[in-house]
Structure 1
Amino acid sequence: MIVGTSQGMIPASMSSRYRQGYAVVDVETSGLSPASHRVLQVAISQIAPDGSSERTWSTLLDPGCNPGPVHIHGLTRERLAGSPQYADVAAEVADLVDGRILVAHNAQFDWNFLAAEANRGNAPLTVDSRLCTMALTRRLDLPLPNLKLESVAAYWGVPQLAAHDAVDDTRVLVEVLRHSLVAADRLGLALPLTPCDGPPPVVYPAAPARPPCRWVYAGRWTPSTPLVQGMKVVFTGETRIPRETLTARAAAAGLDVMSSASSRTSVVVCPDPGYRTRKLEAARSHGTPVVSEEEFLRLLAQVAPGTDKSAASSRATISRCPTPADTVSQVPSPQEGVPSLVAPSRVASPHVAPPSAAPVRRGPLTGHRVLVLGGPHTDAAALRTRVGLAGGQAAANFTSSVTDIVALDGADADPRWHRGRAVGLQFLVPETLLPVPSPAQAAGATGLGEAESWPAEGALGTARAGIAAAVPEPVVLPRGGVVDLPSGDSWSLGVCWADGAATYPDDVAEVDVVAFVTDDGEEVGGDDDFVFFNAPTHRSGAVALELDLPGEVLVTIRPEALPAATRRVIVAATVADGKAFGDIGPIELTLRDDDGATLARATLDAATEEQSLIIATLYQRGDRWRFRAVGQGYASGLASLAVRHGVDIDED
């Protein structure tokens, strides 16, 4: 079968490089927790290694619970009524995904929900690995405003007809997968596959959705005053009255019942203040009042009127407030002597006010991403520093954003050198960082064979170029550089290193990325403020590590959830197996907002013999959060690094 995309024919080399079949999946759910929420709709499309479609299947499901965010997925109780339960279709789902790579946009979410449903139905799924199209898009480094499915689809020219409908989302994902695989094959990339192993997920009965609150948030509760409609209430511990009854009574009185405590929680209800729960720990860290069940029942009898959201919305006016420009400063480093930088203006996500324009440091390589290949680490690192001084950014991996290659001695032993020649990238002279004279460059280009028809020129190429042009250049931080961050619910720091598994599969050093939640003195409050491979999520949920992507770790930071006394997150990396960072090469950092829009980048490779490296720090200064690219190395390993930040390491 001949398979094509909107950009031309799919080259035969794709199915030779990626030989596995795929099961493209999308689920719509009643909430965000696979342990207690349920799948309401599932769609699966089987795709062969050559990109051709095989079998497509979908169904609605009625698990008998509250469908949750109907305003997002449109799946009402009435629409789901009469649909099968997951147990009725478990065998069908298992057959469709059996032995294939499961593909989804944010694949961890879809896999966790399907695995939880399979566990409930005692019908395990035989899937060895999954492929996240968000991770693949990051690996390709496409010029996108964010990582949402609609943005990725628009870049590849795939129309969305019904967002958050599993059937249409799967159709879109099939096309996104085809385009992405062709692009990955063109660059010779290994796919970022994640194993689907581990014990079956713990599951609970489906919980009812949180009752909606019609009243505007009324702030914190002050003791000796009445509760006010719109105040946020959290229950914890074993209450005398069933939790469901308390929740219903609180909601009926106009209170907003939450499932977790944060800095916006008005009051926490606990029958015994001696309990040790996460909610109580969070409440105490934020200074949130805690009352007994009896006290809450007395307060519930006299709740003061609040402000109706609909009335407040009708009175609201739109105003434009001035926003200070994001600034970048640098802590000078003896190796660099780089002057201070100022961040460029950027088109922010809708919930972030764009900063005003500011000048940026320019040079002959501004807008270029340069890959340095070959040579000893010290020579390559010095070249990457020169690239930064010339206004460019050094790249750790070969991606679609790489514009130039600098080849040092031995570069031709690296497969990326040959791929760079094949796709016709510009090569730079190491001594001058000027383009290689055109006759030599022309002689180096070998042509792409079947891949020459991809991507196609014309309307789609013009549209994609328009998308790329609208994406602002991110802030590029030198070692020690600092940038103020726009407000947001969370940030994601991607930590990547050279894709050794694809380049030199027999000589891959293991990199461990860890985080410390500390005070301003960079000391942890307790051992559980150390976030690492055996404890990848902080007790508050404010910091989490995603560790199952080859050559990449994602560090998610949710600032609102951080305990009040620990408003600093230090991200570090260590190298195992007797290696040092000189064996790893550059570490590339990409900081994104909660939509996936790129806020800042940095490339760090000053470390040579060091075994541990402070990568970055996110910290609060006044009412603003800042991000610093650090790059401070130490000769000792992970244990010494942890002790340095106050972690008590068991030496037994």
Structure 2
Amino acid sequence: MDGFAVVDTETTGIDPTHRHRIAEVAVVHLDAAGAVTGEWSTLLNPERDLGPQAIHRITAAEARRAPRFADIAGDLVEQVRGRVVVAHNWPFDAMHLRAEFARIGVESPFDDLAGFCTMRAASIVMPNSRRSLVACCTTAGLPAMRWHTARDDAMAAGALFGHMLAQAPEVVRPTDEQLQAAAWGWPALARDLAPTAQRLPADHVEPHFLARLVPWLPRDEEPLVDAYFAVLDDALLDRRISASDADALVGVATRLGLRREEVLAIHHTYLRALAQAAVSVGERELADIGLVATLLGLDGAAVADVLTPGDRVRVDPAPTVGGLVLRPGDKVVFTGMMTADRDDLTARAVAAGLRVMTAVSRQTRLVAAADPDTMSVKAKDARVLGVPVVTEDAFVRALAALAG
């Protein structure tokens, strides 16, 4: 045996038989004395919505660019090969790891007895402690961590294991089942297929998508920008530009051969159209147009440029450019774990005359998502069909306006 591999996973939900997946995995190596000798972790693209994001705090913008489990399976195997695996509530991690390996056709030794469970052992070593990892670490006098991140939870479980190793070595002695799992004959799996992906710092600011537009050679003809305007319409429906929106805009601009300076000029034109289409330009609308200007990478002077005296009078109708307007009969679809109760949100939508559907079609007005960068099947279908994916907050505001 080469030591211990402390494992932790963050998942999209509890039960893998209900299509829940691993969204982050970490492994911390300990030697026979319980000292940390190495660590490895990565976010994963679960290829579905992320579930309880309020708990694990993984955003779809992070996960969508992370490797899939199949891409890192070989690397993960090398992290656990020859080591006794350890986890807090091992049966939960075992269940998800077993399911992920099964999805790629790889048999694994990860049953409930194959790993050492610090939660189960804590009931013997620290019988007065509650069962959560936080409670057990507190009882053991261990420092607080950034809980519900796979890396820090694995570090905490490793420290807890080390504490038990020192206090009650007879409790943490590996069993025959755990040693057999450590000696499992894993198949040869490819390694280094994709780089690992780490969580972004809390203060990370994503560069404006315009910064990703590379300069292009001049052309002899004016660009056809209707396609770009159409994508921009959808992107600004909820007054934000998500990572998915930014990718779409960059893709359209690139296909059109637009240079960065030309896109900025198009944004000025778009902002003027938005101002001219507004119901009125009072304090609220000025702030809204200023927000759109910021999203488009324009400075404050751009707002003053588009707001001529003629723009300040009431015009007809409601905004048709860059505004989310719902009408009775519109078909809407929900995806992800919303802040509001899903049944309540559905009831409010139906009462306002909307048709709440369970699948996306070309007739769907929009998909309301807990995270607009979600990788749920519904969101994927929406992007293929050109149906906008908007935030829950934007949908609720539009619903309130429809309900009057």
Q: Same fold (TM over 0.5)?
A: no
In the superposition, the TM-score normalised over structure 2's length comes to: 0.44
In the superposition, the TM-score normalised over structure 1's length comes to: 0.28
Q: Could you say which structure has the greater relative contact order, defined with CA pairs below 8 angstroms and 6 or more residues apart? A: 2
